[in-house]
Amino acid sequence: MSDLTVSLVQANLHWEDIAANLAMFDEKIDAIKERTEVIILPEMFSTGFSMQPEKLAQTMDGSAVQWMKQKAKQKNAIITGSLIIEEEGQYYNRLIWMLPNGQFGQYDKRHRFGFAGEDNHYEAGGKRLIASVKGWKICLTVCYDLRFPVWSRNTIKEDGQPEYDVLVNVANWPERRNVPWKALLQARAIENQCYMIGVNRVGNDGNDIYHSGDTSLIDPVGEIIYQRAHEEDVFTYTLSRQHLDELRGKFPFMKDADRFMIL
């Protein structure tokens, strides 16, 4: 299988301003000159981490999802990030995995951040999303999911291969808890023998909570390939299939893992 090029977009979001955020990400994505295949945006990238879904939620036909379709087609790349979505009177913190042809996958955040009241405003998801691109399997998670390793645990399939190769987490993770953020990203990479990508926002949100970003790319043994704090940045990198396969072959830890099912 071939390598995979990804772009991590760390941005200072405009609080509860969908149009301004879409315009901002237009500029950042257009400025990516390298050939890239997956572009990763933060959690609730069109609004910031707001507890006002009644005011901000859009349907799957709304401007933000339509923008993702248009931008993925224009860039000929997959675009992913989470949005506030309304469906049948319920609200979801929904990650969209948008392909250039307009097809998409979706994942509703499983672990709602009760400390901020997210569980009072949004419904929980109940099904994981593992996407496929160029033979790579990518497990997609949102922010608080990072604290719960069972949900994102890589397992060995019947053919002896791990369930996924890359674990992605899109976030609005505050600076005051950036030590756990960075530690958990490394832990998830090591325990799942996968590349770990965590894309966070920077700056103050509408509640005056500061985010230092610390967007990271970590290899399957926990080595930090990229980590950036406090500044907006777009980082493009090519994940090596050979490196991943060699590490898994040299250190076949996954075959000794406990077997279980997530119900």
Q: Could you read off the pLDDT of 215-239 as tens digits, one per residue?
A: 999 999 999 999 999 999 999 999 9
Position 141 scores a pLDDT of 98
Which position among 69, 71, 75, 109 bears the catalytic label? 109
Low-confidence ranges of the chain (pLDDT < 70): 1
* pTM listed for this prediction: 0.97
Are the beta carbons of 110 and 93 closer than 8 angstroms? no
User: For residue 227, what are the β-bridge partners?
Assistant: 216
Tell me the three state secondary structure of residue 184: helix
CA–CA separation, 204 and 128 (whole Å):
30
Bridge-based pairing state of the strands 210-218 and 202-204: antiparallel
* Overall residue count recorded for the chain in this entry: 263
Cβ-based neighbour number of residue 245 at 10 Å: 13
255 labelled catalytic:
no
26: alpha, beta or left, given left = phi > 0 and alpha = psi -120 to 50? alpha
143 labelled catalytic:
yes
Q: What is the mean pLDDT of the chain?
A: 96
CA–CA separation, 155 and 169 (whole Å):
18
CA–CA separation, 161 and 260 (whole Å):
15
Paired tokens of 81: 């990030």
Position 1 scores a pLDDT of 67
Which position among 16, 37, 43, 175 bears the catalytic label? 43
User: For residue 138, what are the β-bridge partners?
Assistant: 131, 166
- Find, among 78, 247, 225, 99, the residue nearest to 162 by Cα: 247
Tell me the three state secondary structure of residue 200: coil
Distances (CA, A) of 65 to 106, 123, 130: 11, 19, 20
- Find, among 45, 44, 135, 129, the residue nearest to 91 by Cα: 44
CATH level 3 topology of 4-256: Nitrilase/N-carbamoyl-D-aminoacid amidohydrolase (3.60.110)
Which position among 16, 118, 143, 191 bears the catalytic label? 143
109 labelled catalytic:
yes
